[in-house]
Structure 1
Amino acid sequence: MSAGLPALSRELSLPYYDDALPAHDEFHANRVRTVALRLADESEEDVDRHSLSAAAWLHDIGRPRKRSGEIDDHDRWAGTEARTLLEGEGVPTDDIDSVEHCIRTHSIRSSSPEPETLEAKLLFDADKLDTTGAVGIVRLACIVGERAGRAGERYAVIDDSSAPGTETPDVPDISLLREWATERLDVMYTEPDRRLGASRWEFMQRFFSRFENEVGVEAKR
């Protein structure tokens, strides 16, 4: 079953992403899977690629329910739901245990359990890397928009509240992209992940510099 576990998990996960917003949809899950497997290739230790890939597909299946207020803890819910789904397909218990642990520990929240296996650490890091680089900028902007929408605002503020003479907005602004990215880069577990994160952060720094220059030009007109 292990060899067929990734394809099965993808099939099981897709209906859960039907109502997902762009920041936590099936494409995010696939990017996390791709990066996690790439990092596994660079690991000096053996990695259970099948359970890692399966966990990547299933890790955010609870996001739509969290957004709608049905649940509070999307990683714990997803871990339990994934276990139920995989048990129903006759997946061996050891594989299910590995997948569930990866899912339950992928969140950055302080209340989340620490990832104890290499697979869980790789999933955690790959998930955080999806908030870095070019893709990360777009994804974080989507998250800012989602949160502004939940706060009752029609649009998120795309500005730099640290600029002189600028009033601090009451909704998320562009500075959060920098804060969220650095927060996630600071908690990476493995060296390959940190190297990739550093490369992506270099690009983000160039973007923020260009953004600030463009805002400055507009402000003078």
Structure 2
Amino acid sequence: MTQELGPRARALSLPYYEAALPAHDRFHAKRVRDVSIRLADECAEPVDRDVLSAAAWLHDIGRPLERTGEIDEHDEWGASEAAALLEAEGVAADRIDAVERCIRTHSIRSSSPEPETIEAQLLFDADKLDAAGARGLVRLACIVGERSGRAGEKYALIDDASSSTMESAGRPDVTLLQEWARERLDELYTSPGRRLGESRWEFMNDFFAQFERERGIEGER
């Protein structure tokens, strides 16, 4: 069962993503899975890659229900749902617990518990890194589209107004993307995650500089 845990979790997760919007769909889950394994390969300490892979596939299965208001917190609900799915598959209790801990602590919300295991920290980092770099810019733009106008807000917010110290009112959406990405990169736990984050941030800085030039602030060259 150990070697089958990651692929089994993938199969279990896919139906939950059928109603997902692009920012949190199965392709996001796959990117998080791939990046988390890449980070694991750069870690000096041992990593249970099968637990990490399973958690990555399952970490956002609650997002569609959270979006429609059927549940309050996708991380708490997703952890419990993943545990039930894996238990039904006969996965050992200790491995279920490990996956559950990863999912429960992957959110950037201020109310989310701190990720303590290396697998949980790698999942957290890989999830946040999907909001950085070229793909991260596209994904963040999708999130702006999904959340703008919610509850009368002109600009999108990160989950809710209490979960971020950022002030977004009156600022162009590109500034919001810059703040979102930097906020996430500042929270990374692992050395491999921070290294990849800074590489992606360099690209984003170039993008934002070009954006300002195109707005005529510095003049296009």
Question: Is the TM-score greater than 0.5?
Answer: yes
Q: Give runs of aligned pairs for residues 149-168 of structure 1, distance below 5 A.
A: 149-151=149-151
Conserved 8 A contact 1:40-1:49: yes
How many Å separate the matches in 2 of 1:45 and 1:171? 42
Aligned to 1:161: none
Structure 1, unpaired ranges of 5+? 157-167
Aligned to 1:180: 180
Deviation at 1:186, TM superposition (A): 0.5
Count matched residues. Answer: 209
- The one-character-per-residue Cα deviations of 1:160-180 (angstroms, maximum 9, x if unpaired) are xxxxxxxx9669722110000
- The one-character-per-residue Cα deviations of 1:92-112 (angstroms, maximum 9, x if unpaired) are 001100000000000001100
- The one-character-per-residue Cα deviations of 1:11-33 (angstroms, maximum 9, x if unpaired) are 00000000000000000000000
Write the letter of the residue equivalent to 2:140. Answer: L
Aligned to 2:216: 216
- The one-character-per-residue Cα deviations of 1:121-142 (angstroms, maximum 9, x if unpaired) are 0000000000000000000000
How many Å separate the matches in 1 of 2:131 and 2:52? 19
Aligned to 1:46: 46
Write the letter of the residue equivalent to 1:10. Answer: R
Conserved 8 A contact 1:103-1:120: yes
Deviation at 1:6, TM superposition (A): 0.6
Aligned to 1:8: 8
Is 1:26 equivalent to 2:6 in the alignment? Answer: no
Conserved 8 A contact 1:145-1:155: no
User: Match of 2:216, SS?
Assistant: helix
Conserved 8 A contact 1:148-1:172: no
How many Å separate the matches in 1 of 2:172 and 2:90? 45
Structure 2, unpaired ranges of 5+? 157-167
Write the letter of the residue equivalent to 1:41. Answer: D
How many Å separate the matches in 2 of 1:151 and 1:72? 16
- Taking only the aligned residue pairs, the percentage that are identical comes to 69
Q: Give runs of aligned pairs for residues 1-221 of structure 1, distance below 5 A.
A: 1-151=1-151, 173-216=173-216
How many Å separate the matches in 2 of 1:112 and 1:169? 25
- The one-character-per-residue Cα deviations of 1:55-114 (angstroms, maximum 9, x if unpaired) are 000000000000000011100000000000000010000110000000000000110000
User: Match of 1:19, SS?
Assistant: coil
Conserved 8 A contact 1:148-1:171: no
How many Å separate the matches in 1 of 2:179 and 2:26? 25
- The one-character-per-residue Cα deviations of 1:184-212 (angstroms, maximum 9, x if unpaired) are 11111011110000000000000001111
How many Å separate the matches in 2 of 1:36 and 1:176? 26
How many Å separate the matches in 1 of 2:32 and 2:155? 28
User: Match of 2:148, SS?
Assistant: helix
